[in-house]
Chains A and B, each alone.
Chain A
Amino acid sequence: MQIAMESAVLPASVSSAEQSLCSVPWRLSKHGSSLQRNGNNMLAGQGLMQAWKFKPEKRRTNMHVHAMLKKSRRKTPDFEYPWPVKFKPGDLDGSPLPFLSRFKPLPTPPKPVPLPFELPLVHIQKKIQEIRETANTTGMDFSEQLSELQEKYDEVRKDLYNQLSPVQRLSVARHPNRPTCLDHVLNMTDKWLELHGDRAGFDDPALVTGIGKMDGMSFMFIGHQKGRNTKENIHRNFAMPTPNGYRKALRMMQHAERHGFPILTFVDTPGAYAGIQAEERGQGEAIARNLREMFGLRVPIITTVIGEGGSGGALAIGCCDKMLMLENSVYYVASPEACAAILWKTAAAAPQATEALKITAHELVKLDIVDQIIPEPLGGAHSDPLTTSMNIKEAILGHMRDLLKMEPDSLLKHRVGKFRKIGSVREGEQLDPRFKRNMKPRDAPFNESDQHQLQIPSFVRENLERTLTTASTPAS
């Protein structure tokens, strides 16, 4: 076969991978099948592809293979099989293989759900509609009143949304129409590919991960995904990840570190899933491991809280260099209902709990936990998802530019330092000894030479020095 012998002549369509293979010497057997080469010196998959591309023109064997399709018992088409029967032209552009993703635009636009504090707006809207209807039926001119009412509507809306109380912000954060992580990601990125699986046998729909390209730079996106209607919510488990999700996130973050692209995480969860299966699979351990490993990743990490951030479940992907929050999002250690049930002993005290816990973005900035608040358009994120996504993108890119200038070692130190200073204690003042009666006081004899060191026996010292020398060698 001439194509194989002259290795210098290559058809133009051969990709770089195949080019590298062509430099490997290969002989064509008499039977014209290049499938024999699979066992020798080729990568298995590539060999087959070679075989199909460079098919011999003459068949020298008289073997005919007959294959018959087994009659499948399935009468209805297999819904799991995602490839469409006919490819439409729009199917293949945009993000790679969009029909494989479960996240398609909703068939019906979401119903506007008014929140309880938006009642005056609803009234005004009704009045405007009534006047419009009467104007249509009777033909009289109501434009003055209409414009008046419209102005009033805008004013009331601005007033309401500029001074939201924490309870109102919590209800906006939990709004059913609030844009989810994938909404934001698809708005922000030019190209997006979702990746699944935690390499331990499971996948988690509540936590989505993938690689996306923003402004020519690729990032690893990880986020909790809430559903947009009840059916999706059940599939996504209400954005409460199981240990599988956290292990998937960890694997993706290690992948990003290995290949050197930054990590962006989006937090939007009421908490980690707490069912018995999650416990059996080690929910606590998964979160703990995530926490520990995230402080060793040598790439910048930026976390954005786009909805609610529920304690451990949120923190497991939220150990970051910079934390950003949307204006109406919340971050708590225990949901206000749970907190009310424990401390006030009734769940009805939830509003008080919300006020006291200080969970909104503005209060967290004061506590020095959050670095920047991203403003939402008037009316909350659900009224204008595109603007919200663009705001987030701007904020992220601004911070990322600063972080990318830092060296990896100083980046790690900065991350540890950010969390090291959180927390405030009272110390230095002498406490009433009554408060210390159950704490064991100092027993060891005071030695003038070394104040804080005890006498270490020689074998212990040798052991310690050995660990010191092994620790100072570069980590494998």
Chain B
Amino acid sequence: MNSELVPICWYPPQLNEDSAASRKKEIGDLFVIQANKTNEEIVTSVINWFEDRQKFGGLIGAFLEEATRSSMTNERDRRISVNANKGLWARCDNCGNMLHVKFSKQNRSVCEERGYHLSMSSMERIELSIDPNTWIPLDEDMSARDILSFSDEDSHETRILLSQEKTGLTDAVQTGIGYPNGTLIAPGVMDFHFMGGSMGSVVGEKITRLIEYATQRLLPPVLIRASGGARTQEGTLSLMQMAKISSVLQLYQVQNKLLYISVPTYPTTGGVTASFGMLGDIIIAESKAYIAFAGGNKGRGQIYPDGSKSNNTVYTALGTGKIKRIIRKEGKGGYEIIIEESSGGCEAIDVVPPGPELIVSEGEFVKADQPLTNNPNKKQFEKVQLAEMNF
């Protein structure tokens, strides 16, 4: 029984060619089954859904696996894991469009609206590009060592072990040789999930060995990068990895005149951009990937190791007028500021998410683009927080 269970969603799946706008209006279609299930089964499963609303993602994920287990004979497909969150619906970061995971996999994780490439784990990339039965990995067993005995809130070693367990990767890069479509190349794929893709001694050593191997065997390395920068916990050693990789590239590119292709993906910042990332003979970037050196958040905000971001943007008023009311939201916080426009008489509502502090109060007169929140960015150059992405 080929039961294709299309799960509950707020937007019906992309089976017809309606535009996005019309799709969003149809909130009626809750449960679409194309299987031969009995009515009782439907009712019980709907009730289950209502009860386990909190476990939405996990439940439906389990349904999917069970339902499609027969079709997933190929081990390869199973390895292409669901995109980051356990749910079945991924949101495109660029246009906010919801993408069903199965269809997005067919599209290789490219959003249909505007062609934004969603982030993929390194395993996915290798699976999708390398032909089966041709992959030879290099240096699989290399793992990081805590040389500086660095310990902030957690010791560095425990952090590495936690990351390794959580992501199932030994370190942030996978290197090897393989045949995509019949040409032999030496790809190295970095992964953002492992400690933010940070470049430490292991990454440096692996990539250096890959390029040395490629020099001997005359293969082109293709390095796919997704990194946040250098690993601060390894200190100056991770800085020297930049130099190490560039030195090997010098031998490879300039003196042996071989080809090196670099593929920056989302996000690529910091030390990786400043070393081998920008040295490719050909640089092919993914559409709308965030490639920077210091990033737009320089001095203005941090991304903590667990992925949460600090919110340091300054919110400005939408229109000129008097502030009518400030509503403080429950739960996490955040504000809604209702401004009565002096010109039109209509109201403009500014939504400020939790985090920043307000510097205006009720009854004040504000002009358009006047800052409503304080500016936490420190402007002293001596203590410049060359933060977010270290380089």
Which residues of A line the B interface, CB within 8 A? Answer: 174, 233, 238, 240, 270-272, 274-275, 278-279, 282-285, 287-289, 291-293, 295-296, 310-312, 315-316, 318-319, 331-335, 337-339, 341-345, 347, 349, 352-353, 356-359, 364, 367, 369, 415-416, 419-420, 422-431, 434-445, 452-454, 456-457, 460, 464, 467-468, 470-471, 475
Contacts and interface: CB of A to CB of B under 8 A. Distances in A.
A343 B153 contact: yes
Interface stretch (B35-43, B66-74, B297-305, B359-367): B297-305
B293 A425 contact: no
A367 B141 contact: no
Contact of B169 (A296, A345, A435): A435
Contact of B304 (A282, A345, A470): A345
Contacts of B134: 443-444, 454
A438 B169 contact: yes
Nearest to B384: A270
The 3 nearest A-B residue pairs measured at CB: A274-B294, A438-B168, A423-B201
Nearest to B159: A343
Interface size classification for chain B:
35 or more
Interface stretch (B17-25, B44-52, B84-92, B274-282): B274-282
A161 B132 CA distance: 64
Contacts of B126: 440
B217 A423 contact: no
A331 B239 CA distance: 10
B244 A341 contact: no
Contacts of B327: none
Nearest to B167: A438
B144 A426 contact: yes
Given A272-B293, A279-B293, A426-B142, A296 B250 contact: yes
Contacts of B204: 423
B244 A422 contact: yes
Contacts of A430: 141
Contact of A295 (B140, B233, B250): B250
Contact of A425 (B168, B202, B383, B384): B202
A275 B298 CA distance: 8
B79 interface: yes
Given A288-B274, A310-B386, A427-B142, A442 B136 contact: yes
Given A319-B247, A429-B141, A467-B257, A341 B387 contact: yes
Interface in B211-265: 217-218, 230, 232-244, 246-251, 253-258
A443 B133 contact: yes
Contact of B123 (A279, A291, A334, A438): A438
A270 B304 contact: no
A351 B132 CA distance: 52
Given A279-B293, A312-B391, A343-B305, A420 B201 contact: no
A430 to B, nearest CB: 7
A357 B150 CA distance: 7
Contacts of A233: 381
A296 B390 contact: no
